[in-house]
Structure 1
Amino acid sequence: MWNGDALDLDAYLAHLGYEGDRSPTLETLRALHRAHVLNVRWENLDAVLRGDVPLDLGALRRKMIGNARGGYCFEHASLYAAALERLGFTFFAVLGRIRMGAPKMLPTTHAMLVVDIDGRRWLCDVGFGASPLEPIEMTAEGAEATDGVWTYRLRRGEVTPGAQGWTLYQPADEGQKDETGDGWMARHTFTLDPQYPVDFAMANHFIATSSHSPFSYRPFVQRVHPDRLHLLDNRTLITSRPGEKPEVRELEPREVPKVLSDVFGVDLTPDDAALLVTKLA
């Protein structure tokens, strides 16, 4: 279903720097998840520059494997699904609603995978940008997960009127909405209705082309490290570290291509760099 048979698995794992076991175990999933988040770039520049983000595996391979480019959640989840399918994991895809303090309900435009291993279920959210470095176990009583630096809370409950599902929380920074009363902000919600490549294609079309989607006209680039997160929101460069006040800098349009390369590891062709500078100006 996810075209795992067409994936060059060796090239994908080499891009991740992954040399570990390939059996479909929890240890493999954890190591693969972390390697993907840290080594496959996150950006929406094709949507901004061209209004077109292909999800076929050939396009994903050319752009995201062995190349200094990346993608957003639909690209990441599609590529990761192909790898999990090739490795023999049991999983299904879901779509979530981004919250992040939004004052109204947003559509289901965030792609994730849910993996079943030995009777336990794990959320793999590799395409958020500021993604968890490891999968998070989905338990009836909820879970708090940390990799030693970044911390998350996953809770089950009503996510939209009449619909039970899951909410992933992150610590609320200064000025962000504390939705739990003890310092947590909802990142996104989702239900366990299985989604398929055709569902990804429809939601992806909205994200890449609609004037109602900020991703269609506004550059977002993120890179997470074990100890910090870099975020480019249009021309605002933000560096965050847990427990510290974010560092914020406004960039001139002409600075952005170099920052993309130096900070995010995203290299544009000269033509694309010039087009981006023009759009930013």
Structure 2
Amino acid sequence: MDAQKYLKRIEVSAERNLDLEYLKELQSSHMHKIPFENLDVTRKIPIQLDTDAFSEKILERSRGGFCYELNGLFQHLLSELGFQSHLISCTVKKPDGWVREDSHAAILVFLNQIPYLVDVGFGDSVRQPLPLTGEEKTDVSGSYRIRDSGKGIYDLQRLEDGEWRILYRFSDKRKQLDDFYDACLFNQTSPESHFTHGDLATIATKKGRVTLSGLTVTKSEEGTKEKYELTEEEKKEFLCEQFKIKL
């Protein structure tokens, strides 16, 4: 992987101290420049758990990806820069239960022996490193915290309507990309996977987020939402203009 090309894509300088501010800038800039998208999944283009393949797709073809690709490549960049980090597995919470266990990939980064959750592959979520100490953090997407459930298990929570809601549960145990083989295959092929049910592309903006789901565009900005429909031809143009994706 060409780390300089990666940093150029997210418009961040390489000559910085390996501290929390730099990590925060890397995460935020990544989420503003590289979309979360499942367009290969819906077109039945196999996604292999290989950072060279991720690099070719994201850096050479200016595409996005889903969690294994985005967090897999971002964790590789963090290691190249000198950050102490590793992948972790997470189980996403639904209103009526949980999705497949350990099927989401995220990152733990250690700064001054304090672990921080970093996730550039979960769509509309926290845009800055979140310490496992329980400290609350707020950005344009909401207020977040991590609760320690004991025995190395933690909950990522977001404040919604005055109550803390679990987004996902995770272990601090180190994972390798290959550990997500079955989950990646499931998310590409199973009718139970959210990603096989239609095109999805979403990216953070300074004041909110832009999401394309099927033919529906949702633009959120400072708490307000605008929705409208596209034709198939307009969708191709929108993907190119908004996400820099050419199919």
Same-fold status (TM-score > 0.5) = yes
Amino acid at match of 1:263: Q
* Correspondences of 1:196-211 after superposition (within 5 Å): 196-211=176-191
Amino acid at match of 1:88: G
Counterpart position of 1:247 = 226
Candidates 258, 262, 266, aligned match of 2:241 = 262
Counterpart position of 2:146 = 155
Q: After TM superposition, give the deviation of residue 28 of structure 1 in Å.
A: 2.2
Say yes or no: does 1:145 pair with 2:137: yes
- The percent identity for this pair of structures is 28
What secondary structure does 1:185 align onto? strand
* Correspondences of 1:58-77 after superposition (within 5 Å): 58-77=52-71
Cα distance in 2 between the residues matched to 1:165 and 1:242 = 33
Say yes or no: does 1:167 pair with 2:147: no
Larger Cα-atom Rg: 1
Cα distance in 2 between the residues matched to 1:248 and 1:14 = 32
RMSD of Structure 2 on Structure 1 (CA): 2.1
Cα distance in 1 between the residues matched to 2:152 and 2:116 = 17
Amino acid at match of 2:131: E
Deviations 1:24-73 (A, max 9, x none): 32232122112211112221100110241123122111110143311111
Sort the Cα spacing of 1:152 and 1:189 in 2 relative to 1 into closer, same or farther, 3 A.
farther
| Mean CA deviation greater in 41-50 or 249-258 | 249-258
Cα distance in 1 between the residues matched to 2:152 and 2:198 = 33
The answer for unaligned runs of 5 or more in structure 1 is 1-6, 173-177, 269-281
Say yes or no: does 1:212 pair with 2:203: no
TM-score by length of structure 2 reads 0.90
Say yes or no: does 1:126 pair with 2:120: yes
Say yes or no: does 1:188 pair with 2:168: yes
User: How many equivalent pairs are there?
Assistant: 246
Counterpart position of 1:277 = none
The answer for unaligned runs of 5 or more in structure 2 is none
Candidates 126, 130, 133, aligned match of 1:136 = 130
Deviations 1:189-242 (A, max 9, x none): 212222111112222111112222121242111011120111122222111123
